[in-house]
């Protein structure tokens, strides 16, 4: 993949800009969008695709998996599904750790009150 730099920071990029950045035809981007649920650029009322920086990063990942590592689209689907499951698990762990932190801070506050009342 030719690592063309991203043009001046914008919120959204056209399919032709993304095609140039990744060095793949626009038809490939449309195919990946159709086949992979994680690739979903916004569309204007006229149907023009608008890719965010997050969309472009997802496409870079797909490119690497397909072009550099030789995975099929079905293989990429499985990998992305597994990655999504991992992300959900990470979020659950983070949430539980935040709850535990809150409980521990509550215990510290309670200990501080007990110590200061003596």
Q: What is the structure's pLDDT at 90?
A: 67
Question: pLDDT category, 50, cuts 50, 70, 90?
Answer: very high
Q: What is the structure's pLDDT at 88?
A: 58
Mark 41-79 as b/e (b = at least 16 C-beta within 10 Å): beeeeeeebbbeeebbebbebbbebbeeeebeeeebeee
Q: What is the structure's pLDDT at 81?
A: 81
Q: What is the structure's pLDDT at 77?
A: 87
Q: What is the pLDDT of residues 83-110, one digit of tens each?
A: 766 655 666 777 789 899 999 999 999 9
């Amino acid at each position: 993949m030719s690592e063309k730099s991203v043009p001046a920071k914008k919120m959204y990029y056209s399919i032709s800009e993304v095609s140039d950045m990744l060095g793949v035809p626009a038809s490939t981007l449309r195919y990946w969008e159709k086949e992979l649920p994680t690739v979903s650029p916004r569309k204007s009322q006229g149907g023009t695709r608008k890719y965010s920086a997050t969309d472009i990063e997802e496409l870079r990942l797909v490119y690497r998996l397909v072009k550099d590592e030789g995975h099929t689209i079905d293989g990429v689907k499985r990998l992305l599904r597994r990655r999504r499951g991992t992300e959900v698990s990470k979020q659950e762990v983070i949430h539980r750790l935040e709850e535990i932190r809150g409980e521990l801070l509550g215990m510290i506050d309670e200990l501080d009150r007990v110590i200061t009342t003596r």
